[in-house]
């Protein structure tokens, strides 16, 4: 009898230890129902969006008019990096479900931004120092694909990948496997 109890306990332990547990450093699943999740890999290191103590949400978005266009923006923060906090934001003009948008940015000769279909940028800092300001550029553009853009339910979901060029050093950082699913503000 003791042997059966011991064997049953051992089997239960093995079964439970092989259960799929949520990995806090894993990318969120690709969903399209307004889960308010996002994440990506930066130079191969997975960075899921996380909630900070003073943040209202882990990821947020807005949809608003600028001149004759409509603009969708979203952003997220990641706090589990060796260099401190990473903020990533993306902007696209006139979004539609199923749309694939080129992300690049240029500066005109008078210093004004000249956008393609959108752009992405990154800031990385700790409590004292601003480390990196990087953005997409016309020479090395990335993409954002909207798998859902619902103006009634205010839900946006999609995937993205792009290189980001450091404004000071010219070094590139690579954002891959990006995904988001969020409710946005109008």
What digits encode the pLDDT tens for the residues 72-85?
888 887 765 555 67
Determine the pLDDT at residue 122: 81
Count CB neighbours of 155 within 10 A. 20
Q: Please choose, from the candidates 175, 174, 177, 173, the residue with its C-alpha nearest in 3D space to the C-alpha of residue 158.
A: 177
What digits encode the pLDDT tens for the residues 17-66?
333 445 556 888 999 999 988 989 988 988 877 655 445 566 888 888 88
What digits encode the pLDDT tens for the residues 101-138?
888 864 433 444 445 567 788 877 666 555 567 888 88
CA distances from 7 to 14, 15, 17, 18 (A): 11, 12, 15, 17
Tokens, residue 176:
């891959």
Determine the pLDDT at residue 110: 40
């Amino acid at each position: 009898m003791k042997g059966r109890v011991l064997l049953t306990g051992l089997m239960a332990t093995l079964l439970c230890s092989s259960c799929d547990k949520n990995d806090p450093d894993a990318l969120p699943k690709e969903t399209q129902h307004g889960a308010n999740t996002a994440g990506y890999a930066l130079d191969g290191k997975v960075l899921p969006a996380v909630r900070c103590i003073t943040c209202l949400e882990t990821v947020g978005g807005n949809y608003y008019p600028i001149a004759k266009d409509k603009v969708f923006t979203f952003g997220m923060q990641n706090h589990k990096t060796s260099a401190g906090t990473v903020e990533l934001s993306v902007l696209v003009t006139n979004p539609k479900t199923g749309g694939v948008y080129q992300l690049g940015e240029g500066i005109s000769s008078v210093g004004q931004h000249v956008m393609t279909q959108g752009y992405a940028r990154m800031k990385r800092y700790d409590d004292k120092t601003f480390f990196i300001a990087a953005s997409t550029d016309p020479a090395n553009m990335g993409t954002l694909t909207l798998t859902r853009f619902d103006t009634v339910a205010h839900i946006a979901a999609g995937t993205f990948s792009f290189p980001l060029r450091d404004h000071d050093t010219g070094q590139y950082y690579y954002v891959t496997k990006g995904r988001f699913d969020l409710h946005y503000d109008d």
